[in-house]
A and B are shown apart, each in its own frame.
Chain A
């Protein structure tokens, strides 16, 4: 059955996925906008970097993130300088790792949507007296609604489903960094198939429902780079 430990893992997973998705929407929207409209030479390089988590084994990403979050790494040093200690094996570290890991799942649907909308509706809105901020909220946001729904659901679902990266950088600290996917792994290791079934089945169902929502609201969904 479901133990307190499992509930804790569920709670951490939900926190992690929610926080990661929010951060990704904030960072991903301007980034996707830039990618959709820029003709800069560096654009393909940025696109390739963003797409890396799609092809890399999570352990590779996790390994480098571990180094970056550790006491000698760029994130680790920054956080230490701020008096926050090392980030490896902490919830904050998990959030940073998840942001990198789920980035393409948020940026790509947004970029596709923004490309499809084009600049013209913004130009029209500008000629009708709308300021830049007004244009974003009154034109882009509603026109890109399906893209935002897709990006949110995919970003969330993908963060819930991550395993390799979490294992590498988060360790497996119950109540702090132990997420559902790792709790399932532990149950299987301990041959506690009943508990494993509860969690795995729940995750399967939840993931299916989320994807169903995506496909229900978006005819043209692209998970992979177009």
Chain B
């Protein structure tokens, strides 16, 4: 059941005017800078902004249009807020069961035991919510939302308030969950590495308007969008694990442009993975270097060059179908006589599995 939404809302000098659709499955990121209307849009979809005009449909069900306004509690959504917002008067178990009991036991294919196990909150159930860490609270909040058997999961920067370690652990849970859940997930974030790791689709918002929509991998690389120009611009490429090298503790992946070497990953051969290549970690050479410590070197064709004043250039590269970005100095570009269509070698200093 895909999601269709169109909303308009004015508040002071801010106007939200957004229209988008999201696929029936997988994580769709609502991405944009602070104050761009991501959260407001999410609240509109949930029905938490009664002042918003517009429409929202999930599959064949209309939650809101010119004649309809289904109240929040009948929309079949799960909502995870930025703060966990656990009910302070209830134990962890009763927090988890709050929506479960009210959803009429219709779990729509969601197995509560599995969710609790995946989130690693089995041991917390008899605790009081006051004694949980930030990461534990957010896990319980995610579990509570999922146990209400939602048809759509809305997440509003659920990891923004957490430390690095809790964040990574929960991200791994979310990746697993999103593969097992048969519902669409809308995930608000302003952190593009979070988006790159979790989401398949992306909706970019700015100033209350939708700027672009599409697959995450495409949007991260598009030069007409600000993401490619961020100081930490990066590209995501998909590859398949092809072998592990126990001797050196490395794994080899095949992607369109050739073979990538990464630190050994605890994943089966044949598994599709995403790797992140940062623009500032990619350098260019005219000939293939052999006397270098860098392992990841592959031939690429220059697709475009964009000036990044004062001193740098962003070079967009085609590695046999996969797009890479390299940020180099204008001085180097002139010295190497880089031009569109030229064949060069990209040297990637570090590759991180997403």
Using CB atoms and an 8 Å cutoff, list the residues of chain A in contact with chain B: 120-121, 123-131, 134, 138-139, 142-143, 145
Contact = CB atoms under 8 A, between A and B. Distances in A.
A143 B88 CA distance: 8
Contact of B81 (A124, A125, A131): A124
The 4 closest A-B pairs by CB, nearest first: A128-B99, A129-B102, A127-B79, A126-B72
B89 A127 contact: no
B345 to A, nearest CB: 52
Contacts of B73: 125-131
B148 A139 contact: no
A135 B98 CA distance: 11
Contacts of A134: 102
Contacts of B88: 143
Nearest to A126: B72
17 contacts: A120-B81, A120-B85, A124-B87, A125-B87, A126-B72, A126-B73, A127-B48, A127-B78, A128-B98, A128-B144, A129-B74, A129-B102, A130-B73, A130-B98, A139-B87, A142-B89, A143-B89
Contacts of A143: 87-89
A127 B145 contact: yes
Contact of B145 (A121, A126, A128): A128
Interface residues of B, number: 21
Contacts of A125: 73, 87, 98
A123 B145 CA distance: 12
Interface in B66-103: 71-74, 77-79, 81, 85, 87-89, 98-99, 102-103
Contacts, number: 53
Contacts of A121: 85, 87
Nearest to A134: B102
Contacts of B78: 127
Instruction: Tell which of B46, B71, B73, B85 has the most Cβ of chain A within 10 Å.
Output: B73
A212 to B, nearest CB: 24
Interface string B176-203: 0000000000000000000000000000
A125 B145 CA distance: 10
Given A120-B81, A134-B102, A127 B87 contact: no
A141 to B, nearest CB: 9
A123 B87 contact: no
Instruction: Tell which of A123, A134, A139 has the most Cβ of chain B within 10 Å.
Output: A123
A126 B102 CA distance: 10
Contacts of A131: 73
Contacts of B145: 127-128
Instruction: Tell which of A120, A129, A130 has the most Cβ of chain B within 10 Å.
Output: A129
Contacts of A142: 89
B89 A128 contact: no
A123 B89 contact: no
Instruction: Tell which of B74, B85, B148 has the most Cβ of chain A within 10 Å.
Output: B85
B102 A127 contact: no
A145 B88 CA distance: 12
Nearest to B149: A129
A110 to B, nearest CB: 17
A125 to B, nearest CB: 7
A160 B99 CA distance: 43
A200 to B, nearest CB: 40
Contacts of A126: 48, 71-73
Nearest to B150: A127
A124 B89 contact: no
B26 to A, nearest CB: 21
Contacts of A123: 48, 72, 79
A223 B48 CA distance: 34
A145 B72 CA distance: 25
A123 B81 CA distance: 10
A131 B145 CA distance: 16
A131 B78 CA distance: 15
A126 B81 CA distance: 13
A127 B79 CA distance: 6
B82 to A, nearest CB: 11
B98 A127 contact: no
Contacts of B48: 123, 126-127
Contacts of B99: 127-129
Given A125-B87, A127-B79, A143-B88, 10 more contacts: A121-B85, A121-B87, A124-B79, A124-B81, A126-B71, A127-B72, A127-B99, A128-B98, A129-B99, A129-B103
